[in-house]
Structure 1
Amino acid sequence: MRRLSILGATGSVGTSTLDLVARHRDRFSLEAVTANGDAAGLARIALDYGARFAAVADEAAYPALREALAGSGIEAAAGPSAVAAAGARPADMVVAAISGAAGVEPVLAAIGQGTTVALANKESLVAAGALVMGAARARGVAILPVDSEHNAVFQALAGSRMEDVETVWITASGGPFRTWDAAAIAAARPEDALKHPNYAMGAKVTVDSAGLMNKGLELIEAHHLFSLPPERLKALIHPQQVVHGMVGYRDGSIVAQLGAADMRVPIAHCLGFPERIDGPSRRLDFAAIATLTFEEPDLVRFPALRLAIEAMTAGGRAPTVLNAANEVAVEAFLAGSIGFAAIAPLVEAVLAEEGVGPAPATLDDLWLIDHAARHRARATMLNARAAAS
């Protein structure tokens, strides 16, 4: 019996994880679950799966959570510190599926307890890659990648030496705007950006995918996960999303991982690792698929990917600033405050002002850099509106 804590239990990765847990109740139980503000949904999960601890990040949702769990014996809590405490609960594995930089502290809390982390929160490594991976190495903690692309690379690397790796490719569908021209992309509305062709995901990651920023963040994540230099990491457009990642070796061999576009595949791999567990995802029918196609990403129509690659190459605090500015920009786009084409220029402007300096070495460093970048992004938007009026 493997005891799990799921951070972000009501999101897409969390619900996919719970689907697998429900199919293997003889193998998994829950210690702690968290959500941002969905108290009712979190309470249902905690009760259905017998969790011992449930926490909402939004303190305004605490009364509803406390009432829903009254008399159950399940401890309820609220606030960012409570979510971090969930990561530190006694468990065999923490599934880290909180979106954004808010996921960093709970991941570090889990590492501090020596708990294996199944990582779906790419921003933890984008914003604080050196800090998180350094802590994991110091504690001897395994970080298992849940993102389908990184899990694919992880599987393709099995049994091989890193010094034999020549190139790692992570694939992208190309998003809903893959065939759109620049003018159409610039006029895109939030509802257009939220139409991912293959996956059902949260709003922020779906918008990131539409602009290929998500693929840039994943390159930075891969840089830290696999300790590979930026020049060995490549993004590749693959609309069918059957091949999720590939590793090219010095002898000319390329090893790829293939599977259905279903997050339960990489999650199942992490939950069972180093064994395999039964998964419910659709099995590939290669005769039906017939054709697999690949394209180089267009960095002109999708400048966000270029910015992420530049930030990864620059290192230091640049990825932290990139992540913070992008979170502000995407939030503004979803709120209708800026257009889609304004996301990348806003991020680039903030990088120019805030992106030079050392990487965060502590959580305090991280929040100082993060908050400065967010402040700069909001001020830049205000100045742009004032100049336009």
Structure 2
Amino acid sequence: MTDSLASPAPLADPHLVFDPVAGDDPKDVVILGSTGSIGTQAIDLVLRNPDRFKVTALSANGGRVDLLAEQARRLRVRTVAVAREDAAPALREALAGQYGTEPLPEVLVGPDAAAQLAASDCHTVLNGITGSIGLAPTLAALEAGRTLALANKESLIVGGPLVKALAKPGQIIPVDSEHAALFQALASGNRADVRKLVVTASGGPFRGRTKAELADVTVADALAHPTWAMGPVITVNSATLVNKGLEVIEAHLLYDIPFDRIEVVVHPQSYVHSMVEFTDGSTIAQATPPDMGGPIAIGLGWPERVPDAAPAFDWSKASTWEFFPLDNDAFPSVNLARHVGRLAGTAPAVFNAANEECVEAFLGGALPFNGIMETVIRVVEEHGTPVTGTSLTVSDVLEAETWARARARELTNRTATAEARA
């Protein structure tokens, strides 16, 4: 079977370097989502390597304006953007407090501000925004000819054909730990010699539990990830393994490997971030202790490596690394992701949007844990035939998302009402 999203060349190819601004000066970098987990770690990397990187602009949603203002001052950026218009006055006040009598950076406000920054004059755009709202900045960066360090997997999931139509060879460098691992492992061989990609999953906090045993888990249970410290949405996605399903679609889009050659295995220690199996039987694994410093450094620095970007193993100490098969009955999200990935078009956008709404409902106490995937499956089934092929537009994606969110909210509200009556 030929996967409908396949194309002649992979989006992310470690053998190709897209360099819009060659030279020995520090790379000019724009960081989108600077107050989130990826953004704050990227800023730490930049501050430790001023000879390699210079941040010219920052964007954030607007929930942490004091941190955003502090980041702007420390990095001496030209521009700061905030998505929430109601956060603009507090941001300007915070900037005034940080800068004192010094000139303030330019401030952009509104939902399009991040996309404006993504198209601004720089070498690399790090898209660390969470959610499908990262699609517009991704497209803007690619269209403007910037190297895109992509941590916002959702923009690739929901807009795959749109991204593929714009991206030039080597223009996208993946920042997800799994895809950065595949990116590095693929550098050791030729694409024609790849047998399969092996994406590792920690298994989340509920590894080993049956579907029935997951019925009564709480929000606190779901947010207690055993190896990674992340935001609440990504942490719940890791608990349901939706995150892993999204990563399977992302791997297919980035590397043009068919879905039946992308395997998920559970690796509780999170030391091996992913593997590539070649046709001669060799498997190349990329491994570091759980830390996002390495993937971020690959995204910003490739093809060069940044010294001491992440901790290394102490090989003089004994350790045990385990691998287990995925329980698809307890965690149906990965197979559902394969299904919507093969459907392509607007189907992945419906899957992602419905999941985002269901996670919000779960975090708000309106939906049980197992209800997340049960509701997402129903929304995907009701969606019917997706818009596919070269006719797909941004409007199609947004329309599909809007429908999926509304339908998911309707179903979660019904669930909450039924439980209240029970």
Alpha carbons of 1:198 and 1:387: their partners in 2 closer, same or farther (altered >3 Å)? Answer: closer
Q: Is the 8 A contact 1:268 1:279 kept in 2?
A: no
Q: Deviation per CA, 1:131-182, whole angstroms, max 9, x where unpaired?
A: 1122113xx5610000010000000111532222111011011001113333
Q: Deviation per CA, 1:287-345, whole angstroms, max 9, x where unpaired?
A: 43522110111011112222112222332322111000000000111111111110001
Q: Is the 8 A contact 2:42 2:296 kept in 1?
A: yes
Equivalent residue number for residue 288 of structure 1:
317
How far apart in 1 are the matches of 2:33 and 2:66? 14
State the one-letter code of the partner of 1:84. A
How far apart in 1 are the matches of 2:288 and 2:312? 7
Alignment partner of 2:274 out of 245, 250, 273 = 245
Equivalent residue number for residue 31 of structure 2:
6
Q: Which moved more, 1:233-242 or 1:64-73?
A: 64-73
Equivalent residue number for residue 21 of structure 2:
none
| 1:25 partnered with 2:58 | no
| 1:94 partnered with 2:125 | yes
1:277 Cα offset (Å): 1.2
| 1:129 partnered with 2:155 | no
1:250 Cα offset (Å): 1.3
How far apart in 2 are the matches of 1:289 and 1:226? 34
How far apart in 2 are the matches of 1:50 and 1:254? 44
Asked which structure has the greater RCO (Cα within 8 Å, sep 6+), the reply is 2
SS in 2 for 1:29: strand
Aligned length: 387
How far apart in 2 are the matches of 1:291 and 1:382? 45
Equivalent residue number for residue 396 of structure 2:
365
Q: Is the 8 A contact 1:29 1:50 kept in 2?
A: no
Equivalent residue number for residue 212 of structure 1:
241
How far apart in 2 are the matches of 1:187 and 1:72? 54
1:77 Cα offset (Å): 1.8
Alignment partner of 1:307 out of 320, 336, 351 = 336
Alpha carbons of 1:300 and 1:235: their partners in 2 closer, same or farther (altered >3 Å)? Answer: same
Q: Is the 8 A contact 2:180 2:295 kept in 1?
A: yes
Alignment partner of 1:337 out of 342, 353, 366 = 366
Q: Is the 8 A contact 2:297 2:309 kept in 1?
A: no
Q: Which moved more, 1:99-108 or 1:77-86?
A: 77-86
Q: Deviation per CA, 1:165-212, whole angstroms, max 9, x where unpaired?
A: 111011011001113333332211111111111111111010000111
How far apart in 2 are the matches of 1:307 and 1:27? 41
Q: Deviation per CA, 1:46-67, whole angstroms, max 9, x where unpaired?
A: 1110111111111111111122
Equivalent residue number for residue 195 of structure 1:
224
Q: Is the 8 A contact 2:148 2:172 kept in 1?
A: yes
SS in 1 for 2:204: coil
Give the TM-score taking structure 2 as reference length: 0.88
How far apart in 2 are the matches of 1:255 and 1:325? 35
State the one-letter code of the partner of 1:56. V
Equivalent residue number for residue 278 of structure 1:
307
Q: Which moved more, 1:309-318 or 1:108-117?
A: 309-318
State the one-letter code of the partner of 1:120. A
Q: Is the 8 A contact 2:346 2:396 kept in 1?
A: no
Alpha carbons of 1:236 and 1:316: their partners in 2 closer, same or farther (altered >3 Å)? Answer: same
State the one-letter code of the partner of 1:30. V
Alignment of 1:97-112 (within 5 A): 97-112=128-143
Q: Is the 8 A contact 1:316 1:356 kept in 2?
A: no
SS in 2 for 1:199: coil
State the one-letter code of the partner of 2:67. G
Q: Is the 8 A contact 2:150 2:299 kept in 1?
A: no
Equivalent residue number for residue 174 of structure 1:
203
How far apart in 1 are the matches of 2:385 and 2:279? 34
RMSD: 1.6
Q: What is the percentage of aligned positions where both structures have the same residue?
A: 45
Q: Is the 8 A contact 2:149 2:299 kept in 1?
A: yes
How far apart in 2 are the matches of 1:45 and 1:148? 24
Equivalent residue number for residue 16 of structure 1:
41
1:374 Cα offset (Å): 0.7
| 1:382 partnered with 2:413 | yes
Q: Is the 8 A contact 1:165 1:247 kept in 2?
A: yes
1:251 Cα offset (Å): 1.5
SS in 2 for 1:80: coil
How far apart in 2 are the matches of 1:287 and 1:203? 36
Equivalent residue number for residue 150 of structure 2:
119
How far apart in 1 are the matches of 2:83 and 2:190? 41
| 1:54 partnered with 2:64 | no
Equivalent residue number for residue 348 of structure 1:
377
1:238 Cα offset (Å): 0.4
| 1:81 partnered with 2:112 | yes
Q: Is the 8 A contact 1:243 1:259 kept in 2?
A: yes
1:381 Cα offset (Å): 2.1
Q: Is the 8 A contact 1:4 1:94 kept in 2?
A: yes
Q: Deviation per CA, 1:223-257, whole angstroms, max 9, x where unpaired?
A: 10111111111111001111111111111111111
1:383 Cα offset (Å): 3.4
State the one-letter code of the partner of 1:171. T
